[in-house]
Structure 1
């Protein structure tokens, strides 16, 4: 009798499970079946027309634009806002929660930012109005088409599509859209603090980052999908020299400008030590097989040729930034009149730290290379070390890799160090595997338009971004 009961329970359970699995299978959205309509193109065009420019000194700057943009999102994506819980903040930042089927699994977080950099000073260089959202010759033009409204709108398009097709995520999904990433990131920090306060830890955080490079590394003919598994640290230092003022006809041997200029020259001529290990090596290990024979031999035997590799990578600004902490002089202030010796000179140096170097290394480095007690050094503003390094075996990386193979089948997938800063830097304590990636094809020519004039994205390129996010939602259910 017990055997019969056990058999009955087993068969009943199997039947229910089979029905459940069969039901779930119907919700799979294949890449081939995803049709993106012209209305999706138009919604991105409309989003570009909101002048959501952020400013460092006031949350009220363009307040009306952020409010109008929020209302536009609500009306454009009704299923998203009906099915997601919204958490409100003091800023214009937006946080949405899409409840998953299994509350015991760690949630996922998708990030993008609403704000864009100004375009007024470049207006005369644009062929189309920077906030016009003009659609022309298969392209969408306007500020934010690359950085970063395409990601924000693309995520909402994907979520709306998934909800229309009755898709349900296993893991709860959060969408976090900061409002001042281009300035200080206070909106994102406010959201991160809320997660910390509520003890929410994520399986995956995905923020903006590199994309699918078409000609970024000339030695590799195939496209490369660069997935950022860490980002460089950030610190700013102010150098100051104070001297007695006087008439320019009787100058001292070294003026404040001269002393400070020499200090800056010393920094530029004595950079941080280059390293070929960690993320730089991980990236080239992935793509070396696509290089010609001689370069393949060099990169596959880096234990022997690391000196040569560092020398070659240091020749280009982009690859040099991958192998060392960089220091860039971004501001210099001194002098009031052509015939008066300045009593003060100051300069701002921005550091981007690779994993392994630390904020605490900066002051000893500056003291050594400047070697002049007249130059006073102090930190200025925010300082953060490089982020933790995400694992390639993580759920998020594997799901992104699978999605890349589906949407960009010709591309090599490679991990990379992100040399810029994103809002995700505030979330390091909430997740061990933060990834940075924008699913768009990029060329070197496209990179010039980010924060530049005539920023634009191809319509099909953008449609593939939406397809990528739809498949990523599904693929995350499979890991």
Structure 2
């Protein structure tokens, strides 16, 4: 007898098959996959669409408002915004995928496909949890807005437009929750337990272009110190002179909470993180790329372009840099440091810039609700705050809410985290269903936050 597929797994697979790639730098994208995604959401989750209100957000996003239980004591309090995004990054070299990236195949209890982790798995988990609450004949204790963006991967305008819609309606959220950290295993050196990392801020983003110019000409008579050599020298200077290491308040709090779980020789240092920030920052830098990114601004060389022909010396060479700006620093300071490092013979142009997001509070009922929900659903995990390396749509919501958090309620191995924006992205069926259970527990927990929320105002 064939196994009956879980309806929420079927919904995710239907959505994973849609090629929802947003247009780059304002370019038009095919709207048809997004229109189909809206239809699939309505088909699988009709109660969430019918109970409240559906607001379309340009270019292809959605806001779904679910009204509060009118009998709840918190029905008139500030609402909650739960976020995810519909768009995905391009598929890349499909020959490297074990299973086709848009096939949404389920093999041995694992769902394979682009977007399983970033971010369609979270999108379906959010709305499935709300659907289950409504199917039980209940409403949330507070009004809830589901915000699904359509151009997060290209840092587009959809989330900004959603904020403007909410602002025009006078919506001032109690807290906002977007994608971000996860229940991560192998994320911190020496810690064997998984860590439920909740982003309380995110690093800034700075895109720079380095340009070196010269006469160029026939490749048979190359000149010394040409544009290619100067760009190469500039890149080496940046690698040899990294940004200084330091720890934000969120990183110090994370280390203090992890102290009981690190190897015994490190516990006294981690437990007194506030007293030894410099030593801890240096330890993180030495521990590898993932921990090092917590401790300083990073610089990645992402694009290179030069001559259009192999027998032509280039008249100009360009290198694209992507910097993730640490909390406590600014994009302007980072740009000036890059200019000083590469020297006067290389031009530095700012392409795009966003300063780090403000820190959201940890000693607060909203964060405590997230922490409690992590412990309830993932009892082996250690909940901790951290600063996200990546940029999310939630950075726009800091304009209308002081409590913006970033967490994806899925168990993720180091291998899975590496697959994001790469090949072989996948999620376990049980882990996906646990994510739905986490969101449902969060929604159920809203009715126990009345007194705590008043204290936290």
Shift of residue 285, structure 1, vs aligned partner: 0.7
**Counterpart selection for 1:40 from 1, 5, 8:** 8
**Counterpart selection for 1:432 from 378, 402, 405:** 402
Which region of structure 1 is more displaced relative to structure 2, 217-226 or 154-163? Answer: 217-226
For each residue in 1:380-408, what CA deviation from the matched residue of structure 2 results, as whole angstroms up to 9, or x when unmatched?
Answer: 13x11100111112332111111111101
**Counterpart selection for 1:292 from 230, 246, 263:** 263
Matching residue of 2:315: 343
Superposition pairs for residues 416-431 of structure 1, below 5 Å?
416-431=386-401
Q: Give the distance between the partners of 2:339 and 2:90, measured in 1 at CA.
A: 37
Judged with a 3 Å threshold, the aligned counterparts in structure 2 of structure 1 residues 267 and 126 are, in CA distance, closer, same or farther, namely closer
Gaps of 5+ in 1: 1-35
**Counterpart selection for 1:278 from 220, 227, 249:** 249
Shift of residue 475, structure 1, vs aligned partner: 1.1
Shift of residue 126, structure 1, vs aligned partner: 2.5
Aligned length: 441
State yes or no: 1:111 paired with 2:83.
Answer: yes
**Counterpart selection for 1:145 from 101, 104, 116:** 116
Matching residue of 2:452: none
For each residue in 1:360-418, what CA deviation from the matched residue of structure 2 results, as whole angstroms up to 9, or x when unmatched?
Answer: 2023212321232x21212113x111001111123321111111111011111100110
Judged with a 3 Å threshold, the aligned counterparts in structure 2 of structure 1 residues 336 and 48 are, in CA distance, closer, same or farther, namely closer
Q: Give the distance between the partners of 1:260 and 1:86, measured in 2 at CA.
A: 51
Shift of residue 207, structure 1, vs aligned partner: 0.3
Contact 1:152 1:177 in 2 (8 A): yes
Shift of residue 40, structure 1, vs aligned partner: 1.9
Contact 1:207 1:424 in 2 (8 A): yes
Matching residue of 1:311: 282
Superposition pairs for residues 177-196 of structure 1, below 5 Å?
177-196=148-167
For each residue in 1:121-161, what CA deviation from the matched residue of structure 2 results, as whole angstroms up to 9, or x when unmatched?
Answer: 43223332222222221112222111111111111111110
Contact 1:204 1:395 in 2 (8 A): no
Judged with a 3 Å threshold, the aligned counterparts in structure 2 of structure 1 residues 161 and 215 are, in CA distance, closer, same or farther, namely same
For each residue in 1:290-348, what CA deviation from the matched residue of structure 2 results, as whole angstroms up to 9, or x when unmatched?
Answer: 12221112222346654442232112111111111111111121123444332111211
Q: Give the distance between the partners of 1:441 and 1:197, measured in 2 at CA.
A: 37
Matching residue of 1:62: 30
Matching residue of 2:235: 264
Superposition pairs for residues 377-416 of structure 1, below 5 Å?
377-381=348-352, 383-416=353-386
Q: Give the distance between the partners of 2:5 and 2:130, measured in 1 at CA.
A: 15
Q: Give the distance between the partners of 1:355 and 1:113, measured in 2 at CA.
A: 24
Q: Give the distance between the partners of 1:54 and 1:95, measured in 2 at CA.
A: 18
State yes or no: 1:127 paired with 2:98.
Answer: yes
Q: Larger Rg: 1 or 2?
A: 1
Shift of residue 420, structure 1, vs aligned partner: 0.5
For each residue in 1:8-37, what CA deviation from the matched residue of structure 2 results, as whole angstroms up to 9, or x when unmatched?
Answer: xxxxxxxxxxxxxxxxxxxxxxxxxxxx98
* Cα root mean square deviation, aligned: 2.0
Determine helix, strand or coil for the equivalent of 1:144: coil
Matching residue of 1:22: none
Contact 1:394 1:433 in 2 (8 A): no
Q: Give the distance between the partners of 2:95 and 2:343, measured in 1 at CA.
A: 46
Gaps of 5+ in 2: 450-457
**Counterpart selection for 2:147 from 162, 176, 185:** 176
Contact 2:255 2:273 in 1 (8 A): no
Q: Give the distance between the partners of 1:339 and 1:140, measured in 2 at CA.
A: 47
Shift of residue 276, structure 1, vs aligned partner: 2.9
Judged with a 3 Å threshold, the aligned counterparts in structure 2 of structure 1 residues 89 and 308 are, in CA distance, closer, same or farther, namely closer
Q: Give the distance between the partners of 1:57 and 1:354, measured in 2 at CA.
A: 25
Shift of residue 57, structure 1, vs aligned partner: 5.3
Q: Give the distance between the partners of 1:68 and 1:357, measured in 2 at CA.
A: 42
Contact 1:402 1:475 in 2 (8 A): no
Matching residue of 1:210: 181
Q: Give the distance between the partners of 1:253 and 1:240, measured in 2 at CA.
A: 17
Judged with a 3 Å threshold, the aligned counterparts in structure 2 of structure 1 residues 337 and 454 are, in CA distance, closer, same or farther, namely closer
Judged with a 3 Å threshold, the aligned counterparts in structure 2 of structure 1 residues 60 and 253 are, in CA distance, closer, same or farther, namely closer
Matching residue of 1:9: none
